[in-house]
Chains A and B, each alone.
Chain A
Amino acid sequence: MDQTTLVARLEAVVGPTGVFHRPADLLVYEYDGSVDGAVDTARPAAVVLPTSAEQVAAVVRIANEAELPVVARGAGTGLSGGAVAQRGGIIVSLSRMDRILDVDRDDRTALVEPGVINLELSEHTLPGGHFFAPDPSSQKACTIGGNVAENAGGPHCLKYGVTTNHVLGLEVVLPDGRIVWLGGRAAHTPGYDLTAALVGSEGMLGIVTKALVRLTPAPEATLVLLAAFGDIDGASQAVSSVIAAGVLPAALEMMDALTIQAVEPAYHAGYPLDAGAVLLIELDGATDEVRETGEEVAALCAAAGATAVRAATAKAERDLLWKGRKMALAAMGRLAPNYYLHDTVVPRSKLPITLRRVGEVAREFDIPIANVFHAGDGNLHPLMLFDRRERGAVERVLAASNELLHFCVSPEIGGALSGEHGIGTEKRDHITLVYTADDLAAMAGVKNAFDPRLTFNPEKLFPKGYMCGEVRALRAQALAQKHGIYAF
């Protein structure tokens, strides 16, 4: 299908204002939130902005006819290159499907279109006493569809779980262009839990056109503690002792000195400028329980060497403490023109040793690294600060990141390659650090079952050059050799 025909066919589905195909219009779709250099950019043949599942399905069928890849896109805040059309083709932007279709307070569910902005859903439901628990730091911009595709997390996922724990059902356009529901309002859908497979599938198995998500009742009381420490080690010890004491905070976030220096002058959140690290600990639940637990946690922090502990219960005060955390990335602009956000998870007990290694890497590679992260989960986000105009800066940052990745997933540490940003293209060649060929073959099996022609979001997750079909054949061959038997 030539470009003119393609555009005409697409326009027939979504109207002329629903298709971008001029190079200037396509430019912003060559990127997502990832660092240019960490992830390759690529130009799609066209970007389509459908307004219904039927339109999405029709676009997918046209793409199939034209033998073009299809890449779903939400807000493009992804940090692993997920929404970049690596092999060109059609980008399906869900941004115009942004309606909250239904809020059911009895069932505590919301039915939303994929383009609904994460924060808007909570703002919409909070007046009635509910919120959508997954709260990525990008929540002012990112979409529910993108959250589902990346299985996004956020500070409050420590207590409430990540996106997958809040998705009850999905309406999905499959790679063959069919519209189907997975899961739903009633429990116990017969058969495999395809909803589970879809969440976190990085746009590779289906395009989400509606999501039925769980709403969480707002807690009776909330308390935020700010604990300051002389150094990161002390703060990490406090994290361990809070967890060990059997306390499950709603959120437990850490910021180091560099972060405080960027944030405090900009937002006056009240973080002590001389602290080596601060912890933000949010507790929520029944009023008495929160008060008692608050006292306990404050004592634990003091015992771990906190130089100051402040408690905030009033909303305005709490919001101010959080503001520094939420604006931390934005504040980094004060320190350097660019940053690279690294995302790995380590067991909580390995936080001190890992953070020490982060400090060493910063020195070895001569890169300032700020730490602002979900300490309660062990989800690290070292922020590497650089200036891309400086020659070799990007390469140096990537080398440092690579060093840290290897450290975190080493057998000694036992961490994960990504805690919330996904694999995409960014870490596709690192995935073999944690998964064997057999492990990947099982994942390829899932891909093959949903998308046998491999048209949805190609060149993601699996290492470069990896063909799902081939691996299956290889596995069969190995099996035949091993057992001398016929295999599939």
Chain B
Amino acid sequence: MPSEAVGRRPEGWGQAGVASANGRPTGAPAIDGLAAGRVLHPGSAAQVADALADAVSQGLAVAPLGGGTALALGNVPDRLDLALSTAALGDVIAYEPGDLVLSVGAGARLADVQALLAEHGQELPFEAPRGDRATIGGLVATAIAGPRRLANGTLRDLLIGIAVAHPSGTVTRAGGMVVKNVTGFDLPRLYHGSLGTLGVIVSANFKVVPAPRHEATVLAVTPDLAAALAAAKSVGGLASRPGALEVMLDGEGWTVAARFFGRPGTVDSAVAAAKGVLGEGTRRLEGAASTAWWRRYVDGQAIEVGPDEVMVRAAVRPRDSGSLAEAILGVIGEHGVTSRAVSVSPGLGTVVARLGFPQAPDGAPALRRVQRALLGVADHVTILAAPPAWKAGLDVWGEPPATLDVMRALKSQFDPERTLNRGRFAGHI
């Protein structure tokens, strides 16, 4: 453990651009173009808490930093002085295959965790873009999840315990290492999706599940969106429920992708049933090919954009997914932007789109208009990533709910000086 890298005195800590004591490179991370003056790599929960308390006393603004795969998410920070990396907190703290529970440090990479679980025939039924870099802490904080959410939910559903370092200098725990627990308020789930604005997640505990014995995917290409959505609806209604079901823009046409898990025989009959409703011209991907196809698809939803690009996510009640997708295509046409990728999750009611803005480099007014138009057709709209200059002045989370005052009160209970990710979260919390 790089204890010498982290002490009570700032000068002992890793500096930007310098290798830290544990040998990991520490290039100065930037969020929306704002570079953190310093980056620290605390090696224990207590060191994270100490670093936070020091930051409070010095009036610094801090961003927790995981694998850096989702730094584009959120509003442009009001300020950024210090990045607190969880890179030195990546240990597996406890793994009991017989109990199907796992405790890992926040800095553990998703892919490493899955590889460890796979050795015991288990998994987190969960995926995220860039799993080789994305950390558990970051995934809990951002609530990012992939298409398997349809059948398995998100990390929120798997979380059974958490440890968090707070700006008050304390480390607190909630939940534990058992799969059922109602001891006190459910803080683990409250931290899920809080974008590191309440505290720095230092470790998280999950229930894990037996890995499915087999998987296969059926792909069907249709000429238009309506046909694709109708096909997806029939597949979604099959008794053999898909583990993931997506509809995506693919060149000129739309592809329906349905993924099935289970025993080989079960998967076979599910695939047969899906082919039955999808008709001729379907393609079947088996086992590893299926896994690889979905990994590519999920990686395509990485939260990052080019200089003329915006990534948005819109949500409605699932049954309105079709009209949402159509409406989004309408907005795209009206505002002179182009669709580079569109993914519809009909069972979840969400659409994720990557939009090209020919108005670049000055896309800000167009983005503002597009956001307003999308808010008119969806219940919730998140601008997942956009060039920082375009985001400035926007709330990328859309309209905050009526409970914003409760959220502010929560923030001031946990982080009264707004030390953590200042301004980045909904309502510029």
Chain A residues packing against B (C-beta within 8 Å): 104, 106-107, 150-151, 153, 157, 161-162, 164-165, 174, 180-182, 184-194, 196-197, 199-201, 205, 217, 220, 240, 243-248, 285-286, 288-289, 292-293, 345-349, 374, 377-379, 414-423, 427, 431, 434-436, 438-443, 445-450, 452, 461, 472, 475-476, 479, 482-483, 485-488
Contacts and interface: CB of A to CB of B under 8 A. Distances in A.
A446 B185 contact: yes
Contacts of A379: 180
B303 interface: no
A240 B99 CA distance: 8
Contacts of B414: 442, 445
Given A185-B317, A431-B183, A217 B400 contact: no
A436 B174 CA distance: 10
Contacts of B122: 246
B391 interface: no
Nearest to A422: B182
A190 B180 contact: no
Contact of B266 (A240, A289, A415): A289
On chain B, which size bracket covers the interface?
35 or more
A127 B114 CA distance: 39
Interface of B: 53-54, 56-57, 96-101, 121-122, 143, 153, 156-157, 164, 166, 168-174, 176-187, 189-190, 192-194, 198, 209-211, 213, 239-241, 262-263, 265-266, 269-270, 313, 315-319, 348-350, 378-380, 382, 397-404, 406-407, 409-410, 412-414, 416-417, 425-427, 429
A113 B164 CA distance: 35
B181 A185 contact: no
A186 B379 contact: yes
B174 A439 contact: yes
A475 B170 contact: yes
B399 A197 contact: no
A427 B184 CA distance: 10
27 contacts: A107-B318, A186-B379, A187-B315, A187-B348, A188-B313, A190-B399, A191-B403, A191-B426, A194-B406, A194-B407, A200-B182, A201-B185, A220-B240, A247-B210, A346-B178, A347-B96, A348-B98, A349-B96, A349-B98, A378-B179, A427-B183, A445-B410, A448-B409, A450-B406, A461-B184, A479-B169, A488-B168
A164 B171 CA distance: 25
Contact of A452 (B182, B186, B407, B409): B409
Contacts of A165: 153, 157
A419 B350 contact: no
Contacts of A418: 181-183
Contacts of B194: 192-193
B139 to A, nearest CB: 15
A435 B427 contact: no
A243 B398 contact: no
Contacts of A452: 409
Nearest to A416: B181
Contacts of B170: 438, 441, 475, 479
Given A286-B262, A348-B99, A422-B182, A191 B409 contact: no
Contacts of B121: 246
Contacts of B382: 188, 190
Given A174-B406, A288-B263, A475-B168, A414 B176 contact: yes
Contacts of B187: 442-443, 446
Most buried by B among A197, A199, A449: A449
A349 B401 CA distance: 44
Given A190-B380, A286-B266, A449-B413, A248 B210 contact: yes
B263 A289 contact: yes
A187 B349 contact: yes
A414 B209 contact: no
